[in-house]
Structure 1
Amino acid sequence: MVVLTPSSPSATRLRAVDDFLGDAYADLVKHDDRLRDTAVEVRFDRGVAHLTGDVADAAELLLVRQLVGRLDGVFAVWSRVRVGGRAPVVLDLGCGPAKQYPDNLGFDLRVARGVHAQADLSRSLPVADDSVDVIFTVHILEHLIDFLSLVDECHRILRPGGVLHVMSPWWGHVNAVADPTHVRLLDVQTIKGICQRPPGTPRWYPLHAGCDGASIFADLTPLGVDDPDPSASHMARFFD
């Protein structure tokens, strides 16, 4: 019996999609008055939108994120945008020597170039509550037996409106099982489970979630105690 699994897009196709997305965003800025005066620049790399620049407030940044995220072919929206003149505090967890952006604050169990602090990601993070704007967990969750404890810690240290970026191998791709240090298999539906945990646990709102055939992506923002749950229509955009 031959089992066929989805294949990830080729590098050639991904470059072509990035070109399409660049043109689509330029057209969006041209025709949408809400974006005409924005000082945010958007660069697309293998379907990930990288936002830089300045906005007046968090509401403007959220609007740009939402509009970019609606473009077909975008898997995630990563931001280093200054809000009200303040640069974001960005943590890169388990980064080793390869941070997602050079000026991120690197946390890792082992000392390496670019690592600012040693931290065991299976334990409490040495970071104050509500003190971080962006957290990267790129190829991290699949290495943790109990990754929910780390997700809860991210919820604790993120400011309201902050974003947790998740990227992990998709369970159906060979990369998910080729590394013997991987102890968990993840799917986009795993992100749905994170966003629909029982009452009394930290809650998340999915800004974006997707899969490119090799990796899953998710951009999550923490919900407060009094914030409403994501609507069924919003959840249906990303999840079965």
Structure 2
Amino acid sequence: MVAQLHRAPSGERLRAIDEFLGMAYADLVTHDSRMRGTAVEARFDRGVAHLTGDVTDAAELRMVRDLVGRLDGVLAVWSQVRVAGREPVIVDLGCGAAKQYPDNLGLDLRVAPGVDAQADLSGPLPLATDSVDVVFTVHILEHLIDFLTLVDEIHRVLRPGGVLHVMSPWWGHVNAVADPTHVRLLDVQTIKHMCDRHPGAPRWYPLHAGCDGASIFADLTPLGPADPGPERGHLARFFD
């Protein structure tokens, strides 16, 4: 039963899902008064929503991404949106030659086209505290013996309201075990435990989490020591 539930969708189905999501977003903009006048466009690629455009403040961006994340079939909400005219600072960790967006700041241990600076992801990141709006870790965490050290560093460098995007092979898919450089297996429940660690550990709020049968996705925003955590109903959207 689990294998059937999490079977990766075919390319044809993914294209149909993206077409549906495009229509659903158009309906959202047309009929939801909160979205009228918002200068944000959404493109859907294999269930991931890519947001571009402009918002007046961080609260408007949070609203848009929350509403888009509620559309059935959305696995993650990735954003390049300008806030009050400011371009977001986006960092791609372990990007190699495959940045998620061409203008991202690419950090990798090895020099390659698209890598802007060398960095060992098992140690401190060469980035200032509260200096980054978005961090991508796409097919990175599964390669690290202690990926929580990196996650804690990302918490440090993200600005309040910033977002960490995680994408990793799902443990139940052959891709998770076929690569001998993978040293960790991940599940959506792994994200739950990342957000609920021991007292004193950096805290995260899960904006979104999902699995398409091949990969897991998560969008996380850092919480401060005094910030309230997510409500049980919100966690129940994503986790057992």
Normalised by the length of structure 1, the TM-score is: 0.98
Distance 2:191 2:3 in 1: 24
Correspondence for 1:159: 159
Counterpart code for 2:171: W
Q: Once the two structures are superposed, what CA deviation does each residue of 1:98-130 show, in whole Å capped at 9, x if it has no partner?
A: 000000000000001111110000000010000
Structure 1 residue 232: Cα displacement: 1.1
Structure 1 residue 172: Cα displacement: 0.1
Distance 1:195 1:89 in 2: 24
Q: Which residues in structure 2 correspond to 1:74-93 (within 5 Å)?
A: 74-93=74-93
Distance 2:98 2:43 in 1: 20
Structure 1 residue 4: Cα displacement: 4.7
Asked whether 1:219 is paired with 2:219, we answer yes
Correspondence for 2:52: 52
Correspondence for 1:228: 228
Distance 2:233 2:98 in 1: 37
Q: Which residues in structure 2 correspond to 1:88-127 (within 5 Å)?
A: 88-127=88-127
Correspondence for 2:37: 37
Alpha-carbon spacing, 1:4–1:73, altered in 2? closer, same or farther (3 Å): closer
SS of equivalent residue, structure 2 residue 68 = helix
Correspondence for 1:169: 169
Structure 1 residue 54: Cα displacement: 0.3
Correspondence for 1:182: 182
Counterpart code for 2:226: D
Paired residues, what number? Answer: 238
Distance 2:144 2:38 in 1: 39
Structure 1 residue 230: Cα displacement: 1.1
Correspondence for 1:10: 10
SS of equivalent residue, structure 2 residue 116 = strand
Q: Once the two structures are superposed, what CA deviation does each residue of 1:74-113 show, in whole Å capped at 9, x if it has no partner?
A: 0000000000000000000000000000000000000011
Q: Once the two structures are superposed, what CA deviation does each residue of 1:177-223 show, in whole Å capped at 9, x if it has no partner?
A: 00000000000000000000011000000000000000000000000
Structure 1 residue 30: Cα displacement: 0.7
SS of equivalent residue, structure 1 residue 23 = helix
C-alpha RMSD over aligned residues: 0.9
Distance 2:101 2:54 in 1: 17
Distance 2:234 2:67 in 1: 14
SS of equivalent residue, structure 1 residue 222 = strand
Correspondence for 2:208: 208
Distance 2:218 2:123 in 1: 22
Alpha-carbon spacing, 1:213–1:106, altered in 2? closer, same or farther (3 Å): same
SS of equivalent residue, structure 1 residue 238 = coil
Counterpart code for 2:147: F
Unaligned runs of 5+ in 2: none
Unaligned runs of 5+ in 1: none
SS of equivalent residue, structure 1 residue 42 = strand
